[in-house]
A and B are shown apart, each in its own frame.
Chain A
Amino acid sequence: MSNVLGRGEKIFQVIIHIILIFMAACAIIPVWVLVAGSITNEQELILSGYSFIPGSISWDAYKYLFFKAADIVRSYGITVFITVVGTALSLVITPLLAYPLSRKDFKARNVISFIVFFTMLFNGGIVPSYIMWTQIFHIKNTVWALIFPGLLMNGFNVILMKNYFSQNIPVELIEAAKVDGAGEFLIFGKVILPLSLPIMATVGLFVGIGYWNDWTNGLYYVTQPQLYSLQNLLNRILQDVQFLSSSTLAQAAGGAAMTQMPSVSIRMAISVVGILPIMVLYPFFQKYFVKGIAVGAVKG
């Protein structure tokens, strides 16, 4: 790449910077409001609402979370565990399924592609899934309940990968390896995977975020607080607040229970705690995309 930028190139860079800064501002301002809300005095939130700069800073929400530190640390542990294991497993089975589908000479390609695609259109709903996982695989109240149902692999990611393989990996490369006497597994491991870092990083990111943010598995399959993930903890609180505020009966019966609900700033604080690690870790993760560029360059 030449270091001297042309005039057109300069204008282009200025324009994309302006647009990207606008996009970044749109993304960052609301998140800032969230963070500011979590350190605003509860009374100020109710009386004068959210602001960009809190009038009176209060760490009460975080103090409250500190009381619950044991729960939160444990739920972090659960979340990290399921994210790491789930993503790793997913990055094994997803490319293994996607790669043969990208091979034009693979006989069962169309049938299996359809089988994969079909799962994106139809689903049996939560009740049959629940019965399948709890009655046949008995995963209720185990950590596997947070890993296996739903999240491990989905048709979208398989198709995404398949597309990447068929577009970016020259058939000649595979043929050449075959001529050298390499078997299919060797080709997959030594030729395909090294060229697939960008897509592995992309799918890994999506799956990882899926695990990190998931709370439905915890909702349905886990009743022991020892197994609550962070998002599960947060969503239980948020959902109960909503349920109580909309249910006349629950309020009439349990007026006292209403007071147990964590305040707005605590709800904000928990979600800040939930996204913080991703904000911190993502830039490190990002280097795999950059590596992908390097690989592309070598290829050329």
Chain B
Amino acid sequence: MKLKKLAALAGAAALTVTALPVLPVYAEDAEEIVFAFHLTKTVDMQPIEDALNEITIPEIGVKVDLEGIQMANYANQVGMMMSGGEQVDVIAMLGDYADMLSKNQLLCLDDYIDEYGAGIKEVLGEEFLKATSKNGSLYALPNNNGKAAVLNIVLRDDLIQELELPVDQLTLASDFDGYCANLDLLSDMFAKIHEAHPEYACLVPSAGNSLLFDGTVPFMDMLNDNYGILSDDGSTVVNLYETEEYKKLISYAHEWNQAGYVLEDATTTQEAANTYLQNGRAAAFFIKGEEGQAEQIITATGIPVQSIKLLQPYICTTDVNGIDFGISATSKHPEAAMKFLNLMYTNADVVNLLDWGIEGVHYEVQDDGTVDFPEGLDANTTAYGLNQDWYFGNQFLSYIWGKGRDTTIYERLESNNKNSEFSPVMGFSYDSTVVATELAAIVNVRNQYVPGLECGSLDPETDLEAFNKALYDAGLQTVIDEKQAQLDAWKEANQ
């Protein structure tokens, strides 16, 4: 009897589970492709997919299957799908272009771009496409958004007013000395804040448990991964962690930490800087950002802040190819995939659909040209609200979210993209396959020391030396030599 009941229960549950919405029927001749991309929250993509196909099927004869994959598991999942022979056609990349290229996951786009993706070339321009090319062949497409992000200091506006902090003295530094002058100014400001409001942590880490944005030294090309960077002469690969500049930066961190400006749990916290800001713990943090950064933070946290750029932009390969879209090496529909990619860079309806969902359902166009939630919806209740406008294809075709936001921002971003200084080895990406063994050990050493150094809890005098010794023991020289060899070969071919 009990078993029967159980079986009935199970059967009923199975019915509810499998009763998925009935899919609309499409024209049979549409070629079907699978688009794998990162999702930052769990949403039902089905309505978006249906709406998307209402555009793509008539327009290009392609039916797109949206395969949103959880961000933290993305690279792993795509690798499994490809090795298992599962269909994947268009794949997105978030910082893993070089890795995917080295494993031959990406199809060479040369045969398809001119015929099916002419619009993309026009949108991105030659300079940016260099970042996703190897030996003159194109392997992926960078997304089109503001690439000229630089280090900002985000400061609470109420503190600036109250303590009359001299933020207007901060300059857009054009060299390392200018940057240090900014940091000196900031030191004084932190001192003032700390004195007047000891309840605030003047500084909280903003990414990867580093105060200084992941060890990035301004005006130096980190050459993909920080292990071996480009020296000032523009051709030699040197160890970042032995440069004077790096030592100077972590000395600032150490000084601030010793003075008590830094969040005590800086090296271990997993909370975002925004969370500390919102809840009245953080007075300031460094973050890499472009125009409109302050507005975004204010919208997110409700705390008035100023976000002040500290540097002139300096664009490296990884700034451009951080987010890319490519075609899987296993794809059987490369033409269709390219046609769809072309739409994602040239068709505003496609971009807005992916960014904000369906008009009238997930968003409403406002009088000032921005978009915002329809009546009665908010961030908690919306069924879509991915907020991934920085991600899909061509951001400059997208609406701007948030009523009252500055609508001229895209013009400024585009002009910054064009007028920035570029790294002398723009376009160089390196393949770490042959030094994978060394890198495995090096990454572990890095994780051991860098949070402590860059949050200032370790001593730049003694611990930096130990760090460098451990790096060389792990095989850093081999990595640097390999990178140098690849850079020399690249220069030979490209200059």
Interface residues of A (CB under 8 A from B): 42-43, 45-47, 64, 67, 71, 77-78, 80-81, 84-85, 88, 126-127, 130-131, 134-135, 140, 142-143, 219-220, 223-228, 233, 236-237, 239-261, 263-264
Q: Quick check: B40 and A239 within 8 Å, CB to CB?
A: no
Which of B80-88, B359-367, B411-419, B430-438 lies on the face that meets chain A? B80-88
- Chain A residues lying within 8 Å of B289, measured Cβ to Cβ, are 252, 255
Q: A67-B380, A84-B10, A225-B42 are in contact. Are A243 and B296 (CB under 8 A)?
A: no
- Chain A residues lying within 8 Å of B181, measured Cβ to Cβ, are none
**What would be 13 A-B contacts, judged by CB atoms less than 8 Å apart?**
A67-B380, A127-B84, A220-B80, A223-B69, A236-B70, A236-B72, A239-B72, A242-B72, A252-B149, A255-B287, A256-B300, A259-B300, A260-B379
Contacts A126-B80, A224-B46 supplied; 7 other A-B pairs, CB < 8 Å:
A67-B380, A224-B20, A239-B73, A248-B214, A258-B272, A259-B299, A259-B301
For the side of the interface on B, what is the size category?
A: 35 or more
Q: Quick check: B72 and A240 within 8 Å, CB to CB?
A: yes
Q: Quick check: A259 and B40 within 8 Å, CB to CB?
A: no
- Chain B residues lying within 8 Å of A85, measured Cβ to Cβ, are 10, 13
Whether, in the assembled complex, B280 has its beta carbon less than 8 Å from a beta carbon of chain A, the answer is yes
Q: Report Cα–Cα, A43/B278, bound state, in Å.
A: 8
Q: Report Cα–Cα, A236/B40, bound state, in Å.
A: 9
- Chain A residues lying within 8 Å of B272, measured Cβ to Cβ, are 244-245, 251, 258-259, 261
Of the candidates A78, A135, A236, the one whose C-beta lies within 8 Å of that of B85 is: A135
Q: Closest CB of chain A to B490's CB: distance in Å?
A: 22
Which of B50-58, B330-338, B385-393 lies on the face that meets chain A? B385-393
Q: Report Cα–Cα, A127/B207, bound state, in Å.
A: 31
Interface of A (DSSP majority class) = helix
Q: Report Cα–Cα, A21/B339, bound state, in Å.
A: 67
Q: Quick check: B17 and A251 within 8 Å, CB to CB?
A: no
Which of B9, B84, B288 neighbours the largest number of chain A CB atoms within 10 Å of its CB? Answer: B84
Q: Report Cα–Cα, A82/B16, bound state, in Å.
A: 13
Q: Quick check: B296 and A131 within 8 Å, CB to CB?
A: no
- Chain A residues lying within 8 Å of B379, measured Cβ to Cβ, are 260
Whether, in the assembled complex, B44 has its beta carbon less than 8 Å from a beta carbon of chain A, the answer is yes
Interface residues of B (CB under 8 A from A): 6, 9-10, 13-14, 16-18, 20, 40-44, 46, 67-73, 76-77, 79-80, 83-86, 94-95, 149, 206-210, 213-214, 269-272, 274-276, 279-281, 287-289, 293, 296-297, 299-301, 318, 322-323, 379-381, 385, 387-391
Per CB-CB distance, the 6 closest pairs between chain A and chain B, nearest first, are A259-B300, A243-B72, A46-B279, A81-B13, A239-B72, A131-B84
- Chain A residues lying within 8 Å of B71, measured Cβ to Cβ, are 240, 243-244, 250
Q: Quick check: B207 and A248 within 8 Å, CB to CB?
A: yes
Of all chain A residues, the one with the shortest Cβ separation from B381 is: A67
Of all chain B residues, the one with the shortest Cβ separation from A141 is: B20
- Chain A residues lying within 8 Å of B83, measured Cβ to Cβ, are 127, 131
Q: Quick check: B40 and A240 within 8 Å, CB to CB?
A: yes
Q: Quick check: A249 and B17 within 8 Å, CB to CB?
A: no
Q: Quick check: A254 and B6 within 8 Å, CB to CB?
A: no
Of the candidates A130, A240, A243, A253, the one whose C-beta lies within 8 Å of that of B390 is: A253
Q: Closest CB of chain A to B42's CB: distance in Å?
A: 5
Q: Quick check: B322 and A249 within 8 Å, CB to CB?
A: yes
Tally of A-B Cβ pairs under 8 angstroms: 175
Of the candidates B44, B68, B80, B213, the one whose C-beta lies within 8 Å of that of A127 is: B80
Q: Closest CB of chain B to A271's CB: distance in Å?
A: 15
Q: Quick check: A251 and B18 within 8 Å, CB to CB?
A: no
Of all chain B residues, the one with the shortest Cβ separation from A241 is: B270
Of all chain A residues, the one with the shortest Cβ separation from B206 is: A251
Q: Quick check: A252 and B80 within 8 Å, CB to CB?
A: no
Q: Closest CB of chain A to B296's CB: distance in Å?
A: 5
- Chain B residues lying within 8 Å of A134, measured Cβ to Cβ, are 84, 86
- Chain A residues lying within 8 Å of B299, measured Cβ to Cβ, are 259
- Chain B residues lying within 8 Å of A248, measured Cβ to Cβ, are 207-208, 210, 213-214
Q: Report Cα–Cα, A233/B44, bound state, in Å.
A: 13
Of all chain B residues, the one with the shortest Cβ separation from A132 is: B84
Of the candidates B6, B20, B296, the one whose C-beta lies within 8 Å of that of A84 is: B6
- Chain A residues lying within 8 Å of B42, measured Cβ to Cβ, are 71, 225, 228, 233, 236-237
- Chain B residues lying within 8 Å of A264, measured Cβ to Cβ, are 271, 275
- Chain B residues lying within 8 Å of A84, measured Cβ to Cβ, are 6, 9-10, 13
Q: A67-B380, A256-B300 are in contact. Are A246 and B208 (CB under 8 A)?
A: yes
Q: Closest CB of chain B to A220's CB: distance in Å?
A: 7
Q: Closest CB of chain B to A64's CB: distance in Å?
A: 6
Of all chain B residues, the one with the shortest Cβ separation from A264 is: B271
Q: Quick check: B271 and A255 within 8 Å, CB to CB?
A: no
Q: Report Cα–Cα, A78/B13, bound state, in Å.
A: 8
Q: Closest CB of chain B to A138's CB: distance in Å?
A: 10
Q: Report Cα–Cα, A264/B272, bound state, in Å.
A: 11
Q: A80-B13, A127-B80, A253-B390 are in contact. Are A42 and B40 (CB under 8 A)?
A: no
Q: Report Cα–Cα, A42/B209, bound state, in Å.
A: 21
Of all chain A residues, the one with the shortest Cβ separation from B70 is: A236
Q: A135-B84, A250-B94 are in contact. Are A43 and B280 (CB under 8 A)?
A: yes
